[in-house]
Chains A and B, each alone.
Chain A
Amino acid sequence: MSLILALTLGVAGDTAQWRNIAGVGGFPNWRGFLTEHVRRHAARRVNHLCVVVRADGDERHPDAATAYVYWPEGRRIEILGQTTEPALSPMMLMQGPIRLDRDVSPDDRQPDLNPRGVTRGWVRELVSRCKSVGTRLTVVKG
């Protein structure tokens, strides 16, 4: 019964995994870092970011988490890892962004060998979680 309920609820059961970055360690001065990063790389003057953290710890790293930075004007989702260093650096942008115009498929019916590949549904879910528990950040260039 509980399995059926979990399947019916789908990602709703995932709620506890999503956090606001303010309550998660390992992202020192994330606001300053992202502001500088966006100013350096943005094509548009005004950029509306949304930052949300997903707790994705495992047996070896139970407190691990990853920050997802939805950046619609940049057509990407940046992925930011926790650091042990005193400051974040571009090295903490994990393995390149999810590019909204190249890495998003309509559904999961086709095999997707792209390590950054996601589905539209996954992006919708991320944006929804970000709106509910994430932090918005507006970065103006120049």
Chain B
Amino acid sequence: MPDPIRLDEVGTPAGLRERLFLHETLTPAFARYDREEAFHVMWFIRQVLANRVAHPRVFGIRGTVRSEADLMAIPNQFPGFETYPRLSAAEMTNVNECVRLANATGDRRQSAYRQHVQDAITVATAPAVPIQYSAPTAAAWKRAGTPSPGAKFTLYRTMQGNDYYTTPMS
């Protein structure tokens, strides 16, 4: 029996990323779930976080942003995470369910969920972004079929039902 898989503590940088990735990425329960695409999405979101911390003015963010945790408090950028590090159980339903199923020995879904949660941990804790997932100007994502973030944003790819956008960082 494999060891239980756990996310990092909610208040740590890795714990924040892991929960955000699992919150924003389709789970294996979805018909259009595709492990490789979901993995790519997580890398993209990681780069969005880094770019918003490094270039807050590009995103119209006023004030000081020292960390990814500081981004969460900005209204209407990361729905469900505004009260981070306090996260409501209702908002975290999918995240908690993913971890539960990843540890559900005997459940036919366990293997897929274990891989999904492990992917989130891998992307959150890796020292650098692999070249094949590199998107240096990663900027935003929106539900496919909804309006773009704005005129300065360029569609990068549509993956897992979301549109992913880049924007110049200067």
Contact = CB atoms under 8 A, between A and B. Distances in A.
Interface string B18-29: 000001101101
B109 to A, nearest CB: 8
A137 interface: no
Contact of A90 (B93, B143, B161): B93
A26 interface: yes
Most interface-central of A85, A111, A117, A122 (chain B CB within 10 A): A111
Contacts of B27: 91
A31 interface: no
A111 B153 contact: yes
Contacts of B143: 66, 79, 94-95, 98, 115-116
A83 interface: yes
Interface of B: 23-24, 26-27, 29-32, 34, 37, 59-60, 76-80, 91, 93-94, 97, 140-150, 152-153, 158, 161-162
6 contacts: A81-B30, A103-B76, A114-B76, A114-B79, A117-B149, A122-B147
